């Protein structure tokens, strides 16, 4: 026992640390034990228990008239619940919502929320409530000696510590709650399945969790959504007491449209439509044309998804939506509750049912014993009443003449105090009307009932049979079919590849000299005629499709990749690539390519070395790029050239001194990265001094013409003129005609 320190005024002093720790611990224990967690006995939290009990006290049975919720809540608050009215009303709403509670305890009129938005319920002054028929499962045995009564919060009334539940309600309606340092997430279950499992454990106490799961195959939510969690995982969750349950929406195809008919537990249809619409706005769902919500009273959930055409793979589309929206959702599974020992614990399925059966056995025993005591008392009183009837005149005389008739009656007829009081409390007129036959018949009936009760209480087997019969009778009365269908072999939801979600449209990707990029729709556009910023101009372009990757090449030989549909529109002047990518200091972007991953390109440096590379090998997710082409020090990178045919293409390489060499493309190796092989010979001394280097490079096929641009002049070379420059790989090549030796670029006139 800690001793309190007192100051000179006699006021107790306590260290702040001690006070704070105790206050927090007290609060934590209160939240855990008296607020957030349900009890295994009746499956209710204290506030829910008080609501149900207060409503029964008000006479709000299933047969009564509805009563304003505000009055009911006021009664609960005034008598039993010392908390906020809104919190109490919210708890009441939870008990009334058929889409939240599997077996609602409150029957309501008015707006009690919607599956779409459970918190949209009206204020309590506008709603009316009474108890549902199912509430009888908790209340039927209330006045039969089955309950421990405890004082309410201010000690003016008594309230039941627990309600005498006839079924394991903790599993039927489930519970969610956050305590201090722990939480509970008990999913709802089907009444008939739980009753069958309980009866099995009653008959065979050694049954395992696996045996019980033959009956309880999984949770049963108020919604019709499918449970796709494998059976082994569910069994594991019931064995450990925690895990997760995966729920998936149900859909059907009607006239080519996808109709979603059931959503996972507590998923809003509005939110799902919002998630799908967001993907459509971001142009990530081109196969969907329209969305509609056709939900009404007859069809509480009817979301319509209209595909763009009949060719859309609806199963693949739904698999994508399952993976990217709340159409598929995992519900937490954590069987945490207050046990019979008054302590919170995460329990497995067998432990829950075993403990509840212990609670139920105690409740039934108390009920039977209470009834037996009442029967014995009545028999005792009837014995006294029969004596009084057989000696009626004598009794009347004693009552009328004696000053103290009670002792006289006790002495004369050998009665007990209780019998004498009962005779004296009965009016003389009623005594005179008594009939021996009626008394003896009542005695006979009560004696038979007493014998039956004593037999049941004296035999464990009889008691077990009685509990079993009552459970099965309630299951028959209140049970229904399973709503949440169990689908064991459901395919895993797979989000579609990003490229599949982007419309495939022809686009032209344009790169400027200063590294600005933009995308124009179509292939007909001339990038050289586009508007560029002052001091900037055209550098490179690539014609591809919007669902392809655009690959950029910088002056260090590194390649970068960005989805074409994410690049800025050509309506403006674009954006600098340096905002999205991280090139090395001083690096410039020199080229852009786009196409299928299997398309081949010629990559070369102006040192005269190069190789053939697949587009797919240049792709990287790294913002800093990928080292693709090895560039000698001081040299630059040539813009990549598309390969039309690996066998028929010829490389045209021209140096700044006017040397031109034509070699077969097949002479170059196919590589993923590296320096490549020598295409044209440039003297190393001149290359080092940057006096000579490769000025232009392109691919040509037999019979095609070549236009050479040199300053303001240009010359179109016929096929035979081009052939004159053919030679072996790595040679110097032949000089171009005088006046066309300072080459800026070359252009191949492709055969039509």
Q: What is the C-alpha to C-alpha distance for residues 209 and 214, in angstroms, rounded to an integer?
A: 9
Q: What is the C-alpha to C-alpha distance for residues 368 and 365, in angstroms, rounded to an integer?
A: 5
Element at 165 (helix H, strand E): none
Q: What is the C-alpha to C-alpha distance for residues 205 and 111, in angstroms, rounded to an integer?
A: 45
Q: Map residue 54 onto helix, strand or coil.
A: helix
**Helix/strand/coil (H, E, C) string of 379-431?**
HHHHHHHHHHHHCHHHHHHHHHHCCCHHHHHHHHHCCCHHHHHHHHHCCHHHH
Q: What is the C-alpha to C-alpha distance for residues 83 and 48, in angstroms, rounded to an integer?
A: 13
Q: Where do we find the tokens 């009664």?
A: 75
Nearest to 671 by CA among 624, 629, 699, 621: 629
Q: Max alpha carbon distance in the chain (Å)?
A: 158
Backbone angles phi, psi at 55, to 5 degrees: -65, -35
Q: Count the Cβ atoms, other than its own, within 10 Å of residue 167.
A: 25
- In this structure, are strands 516-521 and 575-576 parallel, antiparallel, or unpaired? antiparallel
DSSP string, 248-286: E-EEEEETTEEEEEE--TT--HHHHHHHHHHHHHTT--T
Q: Given CA atoms 733, 738, 742, 743 in this order, what sign does their dihedral have?
A: negative
Residue 594 burial class via C-beta count within 10 angstroms: exposed 0-12, middle 13-18, buried 19 and up: buried
Q: What is the C-alpha to C-alpha distance for residues 663 and 644, in angstroms, rounded to an integer?
A: 15
Between 349-390 and 191-203, two packed helices, what is the crossing angle to 10 degrees?
80
Nearest to 146 by CA among 327, 371, 409, 336: 371
Backbone angles phi, psi at 57, to 5 degrees: -65, -35
DSSP string, 467-534: HHHHHHHHHHHH-----S-B-TTPPPP-PPPGGGGS---EEEEEEETTSEEEEEESS---GGGS---T
Tokens of 295: 């939900």
Nearest to 263 by CA among 114, 444, 460, 411: 114
Q: Which residues are catalytic?
A: 126
C-alpha dihedral over 717, 720, 724, 726, to 10 degrees? 100
For 454, half-sphere exposure in the C-beta direction (CA atoms, 13 angstrom radius) is: 10
Backbone angles phi, psi at 518, to 5 degrees: -155, 160
Nearest to 108 by CA among 94, 120, 119, 118: 94
Q: Where are the beta strands (DSSP E) in 137-228?
A: 149-151, 158-160, 175-178, 183-186, 226-227
Backbone angles phi, psi at 717, to 5 degrees: -95, 130
């Amino acid at each position: 026992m800690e001793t309190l320190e007192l100051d000179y005024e006699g006021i107790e002093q306590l260290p702040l640390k001690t006070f704070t720790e105790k206050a927090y611990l007290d609060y934590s224990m209160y939240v855990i034990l008296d607020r957030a967690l349900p009890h295994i006995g009746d499956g209710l939290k204290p506030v829910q228990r008080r609501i149900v009990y207060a409503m029964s006290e008000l006479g709000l049975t299933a047969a009564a008239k509805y009563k304003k919720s505000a009055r009911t809540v006021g009664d609960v608050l005034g008598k039993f619940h010392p908390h906020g009215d809104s919190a109490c009303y919210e708890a009441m709403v939870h008990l009334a919502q058929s889409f939240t509670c599997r077996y609602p305890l409150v029957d309501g009129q008015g707006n009690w929320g919607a599956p779409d938005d459970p918190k949209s319920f009206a204020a309590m002054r506008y709603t009316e409530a009474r108890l549902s028929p199912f509430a009888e499962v908790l209340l039927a045995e209330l006045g039969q000696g089955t309950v421990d009564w405890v004082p309410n919060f201010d000690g003016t009334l008594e309230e039941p510590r627990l309600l005498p539940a006839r079924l394991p309600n903790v599993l039927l309606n489930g519970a969610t709650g956050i305590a201090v340092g722990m939480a509970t997430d008990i999913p709802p279950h089907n009444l008939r399945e739980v009753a069958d499992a309980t009866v099995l454990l009653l008959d065979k106490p050694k049954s395992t969790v696996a045996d019980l799961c033959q009956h309880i195959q999984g949770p049963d939510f108020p919604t019709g959504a499918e449970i796709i969690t494998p059976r082994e995982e569910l069994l594991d969750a019931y064995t450990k007491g925690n895990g997760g349950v995966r729920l998936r929406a149900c859909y059907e195809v009607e006239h080519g449209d996808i109709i979603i008919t059931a959503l996972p537990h507590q998923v809003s249809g509005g939110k799902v439509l919002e998630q799908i619409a967001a993907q459509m706005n971001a142009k990530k769902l081109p196969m969907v044309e329209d969305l509609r919500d056709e939900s009404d009273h007859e069809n509480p959930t009817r979301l319509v998804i209209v595909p763009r055409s009949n060719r859309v793979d609806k199963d693949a589309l739904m698999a994508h939506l399952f993976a990217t929206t709340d159409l598929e959702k995992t519900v937490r599974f954590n069987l945490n509750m207050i046990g019979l020992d008054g302590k919170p614990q995460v329990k497995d399925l067998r432990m829950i049912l075993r403990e509840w059966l212990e609670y139920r056995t105690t409740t039934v025993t108390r009920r039977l014993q209470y009834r037996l005591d009442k029967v014995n008392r009545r028999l005792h009183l009837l014995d006294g009443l029969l004596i009084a009837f057989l000696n009626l005149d004598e009794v009347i005389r004693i009552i009328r003449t004696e000053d103290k008739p009670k002792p006289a009656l006790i002495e004369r007829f050998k009665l007990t105090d209780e019998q004498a009081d009962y005779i004296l409390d009965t009016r003389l007129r009623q005594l005179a009307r008594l009939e021996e036959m009626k008394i003896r018949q009542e005695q006979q009936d009560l004696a038979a009932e007493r014998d039956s009760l004593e037999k049941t209480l004296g035999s464990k087997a009889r008691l077990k049979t009685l509990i079993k019969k009552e459970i099965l009778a309630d299951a028959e009365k209140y049970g229904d079919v399973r709503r949440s269908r169990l689908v064991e072999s459901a395919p895993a939801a797979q989000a579609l590849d990003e490229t599949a979600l982007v419309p495939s449209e022809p686009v032209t990707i344009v790169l400027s000299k200063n590294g600005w990029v933009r995308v124009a729709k179509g292939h007909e556009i001339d990038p050289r005629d586009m508007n560029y910023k002052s001091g900037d101009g055209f550098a490179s372009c690539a014609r591809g499709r919007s669902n392809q990757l655009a690959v950029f090449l910088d002056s260090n030989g590194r390649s970068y990749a960005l989805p074409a549909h994410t690049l800025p529109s050509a309506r403006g002047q674009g954006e600098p690539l340096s905002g999205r990518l991280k090139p090395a200091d001083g690096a410039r972007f020199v080229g852009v390519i786009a196409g299928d991953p299997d398309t081949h390109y010629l990559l070369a440096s102006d040192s005269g070395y190069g190789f053939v590379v697949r587009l797919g090998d240049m792709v990287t997710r790294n913002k800093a790029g990928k080292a693709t082409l090895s560039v000698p020090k001081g040299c630059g990178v040539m813009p990549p050239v598309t390969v039309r045919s690996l066998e028929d293409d010829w490389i045209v390489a021209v140096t700044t001194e006017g040397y031109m060499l034509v070699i077969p493309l097949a002479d170059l190796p196919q590589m993923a990265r590296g320096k490549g092989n020598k295409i044209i010979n440039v003297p190393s001394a001149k290359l080092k001094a940057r006096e000579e280097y490769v000025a232009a490079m392109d691919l040509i096929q037999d019979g095609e013409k070549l236009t050479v641009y040199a300053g303001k002049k240009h010359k179109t070379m016929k096929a035979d003129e081009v052939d004159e420059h053919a030679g072996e790989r790595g040679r110097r090549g032949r000089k171009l005609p005088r006046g066309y030796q300072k080459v800026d670029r070359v252009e191949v006139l492709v055969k039509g």
